[in-house]
Amino acid sequence: MQMKLEKPTWAEMKKQRITFAAVGVAIVCLLLVHFLWLAPLMAQQEEIALKVKQQNELVQKYKEKLDKAQSIRENLVKQQQEMETMQKRLFRGNDPYQLAASLSESLSSKSAEKLDMKTYQVLASKEYGLYQEVHLRFNFMTTIGGLKLFLDRLKNFQTTVLVQEINIQKIQRKGGPDLVVNIVIAALMEKGEKS
């Protein structure tokens, strides 16, 4: 069975004209609503979404920079603490000879272990801004026990020193010190204000 669709006639269409007009007005209203209201809203929404994305990227970049700055700050605080600790171990003064005399007095033995400080000498001095590296030579006579005591005192000395060279000679002697020691050390000195 086949159904035939009949073409509507002009008279029937006239009867439906109100319906056609209502549908036309509805379509025009929908088009007006779309173009005048929805399209600008959608464009504005896309613009806002793009701005939000850009702002989020910017916030992420700033967050990364803040994290990096925090890391740098923590590193600087750590380095400052290390520097303050190191500065406490530097000899303060302007005169390398004062440093040599202070070291000679502090390292000399006043105990049963004989350590007879013969001479001390300032060999060289290099300037590094607020600091000065001083090379000193000490000559003394001692025993094995006195040498051990001297090296222990040097190791535990309040000022940081570095042994650069040590020469030890054994001499034949019946009593007293039987070692002649020649030692070169380097010390870092923080220059104080000159009076």
Q: Tell me, what's the pLDDT at 124?
A: 81
Reported as a single tens digit per residue, the pLDDT across 12-35 is 777 777 888 888 889 988 888 888
- The answer for 176, left when phi > 0, alpha when psi is -120 to 50, beta otherwise, is left
Secondary structure of 17-34 as H, E, C letters: HHHHHHHHHHHHHHHHHH
Q: Tell me, what's the pLDDT at 111?
A: 57
Q: What is the CATH number of domain 91-190?
A: 3.30.70.60
**For the chain, what are the domain ranges?**
10-88, 91-190
Q: Tell me, what's the pLDDT at 147?
A: 85
CB 165 within 8 A of CB 143: no
C-alpha of 179 from chain center: 48
Rounded Cα distance, 185 and 7, in Å: 118
Coil, strand or helix at 94: coil
